[in-house]
Amino acid sequence: MKKTYYFFICLIYISNSIYSQVTTPQATINAYKIELEKELSTYKIKPDSTKVVQDKLLTKDLNEIFSSLLFSNTDALTNGSAFGFTRNSDNTTISLNNNFRISNENSVKQTYLTIGVNANGMGSVFGLYSDDAWNSAVGLNIGFRHKLIRAKRYIGINEDQLKRYKKLSKLTAQAILLHPEKFDSIFLKRIGGLQTSLENNSEIAQIKQTKNYDAVVKVFPEVKKLIESKDYVGTYTFLEKEKKSINEFLSLKTDSKKIKDFVKKQLLAYDKANNSTYGHNYMMWLGIDMNVRNNTYTFTDENITAINTVGLPDDRSQNKLNSVFSFNVNASTEAKGYLGYFQLGFRFNTGSFLDNDLIDGTPKITESVDGIFNIRDEDNVLLGNFNTVTDDFQTGDFHLYTAFLFGENKNIGFNISLEHQFLSKRPENTTYNSNFTALMGPLFKTKSGTTFGIDAGWDNAIYNTKVNDDFLARIRVGIPFTIISKKEEK
């Protein structure tokens, strides 16, 4: 009796195995078709729930916009992963900045850690640490970016176009179902057999006489042309890719989650090639930065007018750690005809009084009547005492920056930078006046993303004075690191 029982159990197991092998591919195909229709039904244009591409593509596009290169109020680059260069009549600033995502890549509310280095020198072009650079600095910037609002992209199609889009997307997604006979273990063996012939470098005539060749060419006509051109490597690679695709589809079985993910993968490929979205509505994010740099102030013999220098140290260079904390609210928007960016923020700076942006030319050490060594600028304005160079000198500012680029490619526009700077703390006998900066000029952007700017206006102009002498022009260049990565991908 037990033998009969075990016999029936084995018979049922074998029957189920045979049945599973026969029906699993068709069951997977049926489940795939159902899930495909279900996913395409979510593509719609509605006021409350519009969707015309896969969420993964939408998120990817918005994240790229969020981390793209943008100038800001500061000379040192802090937005985007890029190299920056700024040059005006007084100094040169170069900076490298990189963004590191610290949130899930599929989240639209992205958070980034930004790390950058920058160097600044006063004097000739690229006069960093040259004899002409009496004030030079190297610093480290650490920042934090957090997106506040889930931005949306604009739609470039209407209801009728969406219907056609869904139809073509469906045809593309169902392309894998052509020749369902390929989902058979025997066909997979045929592919393997043909690959073996290619590895053995068999003659074309010999390969064509095999059943493997006939079966594979029937499903993949491209193979015939590849073999006849003796491109065995290309043929082998093509077959390996198709074999992988077949096995991936068969591994889905009837697992609903796997099938859903596979459907989304097929639709995503079509959406990427036929993206019907563009630009974005208002995207807002917070930016917090801390920049710490070591400033070196060098006084050569040419910059010392004091007759008696007995009290001066042999090394006339002074070092002071400078720290800048900034907080910004940022917003950007892009339509078909323009790209706009806006920044409003506050900055707090702690350093030496020789960081004073009001200094005219190269300061000199002079000797007062009472034997105290003072530092004066080229206009003979008293800046402070030599022995207080390393004392804390603190200023703050409120700043606004906006930029607009126009045209189909958004490659030409303008930017405006406004700033009000005020004193917070200073050493005794230090001169400082509240001042403002107002700069504006054209922007140019290449297809690769490199941005050029030329600004002119008043820089650190003291209120209620003649500001003609404070007129300044500067050039800025920003080169995104994506240019390098795109070349490597090619």
DSSP string, 118-152: EEEEESSTT-TTSTT-SEEEEEEEEEEEEE-S---
The pLDDT value given to residue 76: 65
* pLDDT class of 437 with cuts at 50, 70, 90: very high
Segment holding 325, helix H or strand E = strand 318-334
* pLDDT class of 165 with cuts at 50, 70, 90: very high
Q: Is the pLDDT of residue 464 over 90?
A: no
The pLDDT value given to residue 11: 45
The pLDDT value given to residue 24: 79
Segment holding 170, helix H or strand E = helix 159-173
The pLDDT value given to residue 484: 44
Among the listed residues 319, 396, 311, 302, the one whose alpha carbon sits nearest the alpha carbon of residue 354 = 319
CA gap 465, 414 in Å, rounded: 28
The pLDDT value given to residue 473: 87
Note the pLDDT tens digit of each residue in 445-461: 888 778 889 999 998 89
Helix (H, G, I), strand (E, B) or coil at 178: coil
Residue ranges and CATH numbers for the domains of the chain are 10-41+162-267 (no CATH), 63-155+277-489 (2.40.160)
Question: Which region among 67-71, 123-127, 142-146, 192-196 has the lowest average model confidence (pLDDT)?
Answer: 123-127
1: number of Cβ within 10 Å: 5
Note the pLDDT tens digit of each residue in 104-149: 777 777 888 989 898 887 654 444 545 556 788 889 999 998 988 8
* pLDDT class of 100 with cuts at 50, 70, 90: confident
The highest-confidence range among 9-23, 24-38, 290-304, 465-479, by mean pLDDT, is 24-38
223: number of Cβ within 10 Å: 21
The pLDDT value given to residue 20: 44
**Bigger pLDDT: 90 vs 272:** 272
Share of the chain above pLDDT 70, in %: 88
Which residue do the tokens 């001042």 mark? 435
The pLDDT value given to residue 149: 81
CA gap 50, 41 in Å, rounded: 12
Note the pLDDT tens digit of each residue in 227-240: 888 898 999 999 99
* pLDDT class of 182 with cuts at 50, 70, 90: very high
The pLDDT value given to residue 478: 82
Q: Which two tokens stand for residue 79?
A: 């937005």
* DSSP summary character for residue 456: E
**What residue type is 277 in one-letter code?**
T
CA gap 378, 309 in Å, rounded: 20
Q: Is the pLDDT of residue 218 over 80?
A: yes
Classify residue 441 as exposed, middle or buried by CB count within 10 Å of its CB (0-12, 13-18, 19+): middle
* pLDDT class of 413 with cuts at 50, 70, 90: very high
Note the pLDDT tens digit of each residue in 311-348: 777 777 888 999 999 999 999 999 988 999 999 999 99
